[in-house]
Structure 1
């Protein structure tokens, strides 16, 4: 029971950290480098889990999860949440850029009312 509470706490903290980190440091170059580094670490961990599944079960038991596959599932859920949040923030920023661009083009191409009457 304590082990299960530990993994739940770790997953919740990881999720909260991802949200705070990603929303707070979106424009900084360090954030982009951190995402790339995290992705590389995640890929290496997944390769390791595939090649040595018994090690994953040992790590899972250490953090309070009964099976290594469950631990991998939990990690994938956190990675999916991170990817979803990343896509949402990126698309939101892109929508704002398009809106600003559309406004700038509309203002540049605007015709003065008195020019229309002549």
Structure 2
């Protein structure tokens, strides 16, 4: 039987993949990432200050303990961070390859014609 948390985690994972891969260069996406991070930090502070509230929310979502709910949220955050780093490094490698090609073409020396 599927619980509420399983559906939320699967939807969050799918949303992160689609959103990040589709909008990774837009300023709006970068702002969304910053806002999401701030919400996550505030939620973590809230969980530390009021752990019983987190347990109540976890029970409402079908999870036994608040610590388990926090672990699930951290797993989603880790997936996002991993995906973000992978895409960023891949784009950086492509930029380096383009730069190397441009430099190679700019500094290319024409071969001397052979004497017949």
- The aligned length equals 114
- Structure 1: runs of 5+ lacking an equivalent: none
Greater RCO, CA 8 A, separation 6+:
1
User: Relative to 1, partners in 2 of residues 1:54 and 1:111: Cα closer, same or farther, differing over 3 Å?
Assistant: same
Q: Write out per-residue CA displacement over residues 1-24 of structure 1, whole angstroms, 9 at most, x where no aligned residue.
A: xxxx22111100000000000000
Q: TM-score, normalised by structure 1?
A: 0.93
- Using a 3 Å threshold, how does the CA distance of structure 1 residues 106 and 63 change in structure 2: closer, same or farther? same
Name stretches of at least 5 consecutive residues in structure 2 with no aligned partner: none
Shift of the 44–110 alpha-carbon distance from structure 1 to 2, 3 Å rule, reads: same
Which structure has greater helix proportion? 1
> Secondary structure of the residue that 1:112 maps to in structure 2?
coil
Distance 1:87 1:100 in 2: 20
